Amino acid sequence: MSSTWHILGAGSLGSLWACRLARAGKPVRLVLRDKARLQAYEAAGGLTLVEQGKAQLQAIPAQLADDNTPIHRLLVACKAYDAEQAVAQLAPRLARDAELILLQNGLGSQEAVANRVPHARCVFASSTEGAFREQDWQVNFAGHGFNWLGDPANPGPPGWLEDLSDAGIPHQWTPDILTRLWRKLALNCAINPLTVLHDCRNGGLQAHHCEVATLCAELAELLQYCGQPEAAEGLNEEVERVIHATAANYSSMYQDVRHGRRTEIHYLLGHACRTASRHGRQLPHLERLYRRLVEHLNTRGLPSD
Ligand code: NAD
Ligand code: KPL
């Protein structure tokens, strides 16, 4: 019998994982923010997954952080800026053998979470799957993708990967999860802020090749000196490929800004600039991009941390 999957953050990605695991017969519990959310969830009768136009309701039980049952396995599906606090609330419930799976994009939040719960195993994930919500408790599976999983502190794969296979969650265990996370961070830094500042879809950056290439050169330099040379290989070419392949899409950061939502800038461009400064290096174009983006967010009343 598989351990219960506690899902912290019943947003887009958390709901997508929860529904697929529950559909495969795995025990799943949602951990919700507060009593009002719990009541609203119970009134809805469960989570609905919309996939290829078909909606399926999963009556997954939910609880609050102050429930007293122990947690052996926790999928952390909050935004990067919420992850550390959200996990800290659950720390007293984590069993000695607890394992956490951290779904956050960017870098920095994983380390902060791991420091909060040093006795737990923290598995990092890098996901290219796409999900969004049009209403509460309903998630649309928008883009098929892949999940890379790994633990920088322990290369041995965990036993629960079988649950993911049973649930049809595409994944692979990798000893190089940090390389994957850095590569995605670099892609996001080269594309997302520019789409916000130029107010365009990803394809609009085809008119800004030189600006993109200059950022990629600095990002590649950063990856080299922070010990991730593989993540630097062919970066500009891949960025151009992604811009072309996703030309009609708005980047996730563009959508966050458009909807007045907080962005994960601190864990993307912010992390890149902080890492450069820790190494005593200057990356003038990335730093200028960061300053312009912070200013843009501030003028719209959005947080820039
Ligand atoms: P989301 O905003 O849809 O969901 C986050 C959920 O966490 C929200 O429901 C929020 O209420 C909940 N939450 C925050 N603090 C909480 C707390 N203390 N207790 C309980 N719940 C709490 O976000 P998302 O789009 O699912 O993204 C989650 C992470 O996954 C982000 O880092 C994002 O970049 C990454 N990601 C998302 C996608 C996607 O398609 N949505 C794809 C790849 C990566
Ligand atoms: O991941 C993305 C995002 O929008 O966050 C892509 C499509 C790669 C653009 O950076």
Which ligand has its closest atom nearest to the C-alpha of 205? 2
Helices 284-299, 177-197: crossing angle, 10 deg rounding: 60
The DSSP symbol for 249 reads: S
2 ligand 2 Cβ < 6 A: no
> Average pLDDT of 79-91?
98
* CA nearest ligand 2 atom 7, residue: 251
**Minimal CA–CA distance to 47: which of 131, 147, 130, 103?**
131
| CA 82 to centroid of ligand 1, rounded, Å | 8
State how far the Cα of 31 lies from the Cα of 75, in Å rounded to an integer.
Answer: 10
Strands (E) located in 44-193: 47-51, 54-58, 62-64, 71-76, 94-102, 121-127, 130-135, 138-143, 147-150, 171-173
Domains with residue ranges and CATH for the chain:
5-175 (3.40.50.720), 179-299 (1.10.1040.10)
* Edge-first strand listing for the sheet containing 130-135: 54-58, 47-51, 138-143, 130-135
Q: In this predicted structure, what is the pLDDT of residue 252?
A: 96
> Average pLDDT of 277-288?
96
Percent of the chain past pLDDT 90, that is, above it, reads: 98
Please report which helix (H) or strand (E) contains residue 32, including its range. strand 28-32
**Minimal CA–CA distance to 10: which of 129, 133, 102?**
133
Residues in CB range of 138: below 8 A, 6 or more apart: 15, 47, 48, 50, 55
> Average pLDDT of 17-30?
98
* CA nearest ligand 1 atom 42, residue: 130
Closest atom of ligand 1 to 82 CA is 15
State how far the Cα of 217 lies from the Cα of 223, in Å rounded to an integer.
Answer: 10
The DSSP symbol for 4 reads: P
| CA 190 to centroid of ligand 2, rounded, Å | 10
Whether the pLDDT of residue 1 is over 70: the answer is: no
* CA nearest ligand 2 atom 5, residue: 252
* CA nearest ligand 2 atom 1, residue: 188
| CA 13 to centroid of ligand 1, rounded, Å | 6
Output the average pLDDT for the chain. Answer: 97
Helices 80-90, 109-116: crossing angle, 10 deg rounding: 10
Neighbour-count burial of 31, counting CB atoms closer than 10 A to its CB (0-12 exposed, 13-18 middle, 19+ buried): buried
252 ligand 2 Cβ < 6 A: yes
| pLDDT tens digits for range 184-207 | 999 999 999 999 999 999 999 999
Residues in CB range of 263: below 8 A, 6 or more apart: 253, 256, 257, 297, 302
> Average pLDDT of 229-257?
97
| CA 211 to centroid of ligand 1, rounded, Å | 31
**Is 184 annotated as catalytic?**
yes
Which ligand has its closest atom nearest to the C-alpha of 238? 2
**Minimal CA–CA distance to 124: which of 159, 90, 157, 148?**
148
Place of tokens 């992604």: 242
Sign, CA torsion 56/61/66/72: negative
Whether the pLDDT of residue 175 is over 90: the answer is: yes
268 ligand 2 Cβ < 6 A: no
Residues with CB under 6 A from ligand 1: 8-14, 31-33, 77-80, 82, 86, 89, 103-105, 127, 129-131, 264
CA 242 to chain centre: 18
Place of tokens 């990002």: 219
| pLDDT tens digits for range 100-115 | 999 999 999 999 999 9
pTM above 0.75, yes or no: yes
Helices 284-299, 269-278: crossing angle, 10 deg rounding: 140
| CA 103 to centroid of ligand 1, rounded, Å | 8
Whether the pLDDT of residue 164 is over 90: the answer is: yes
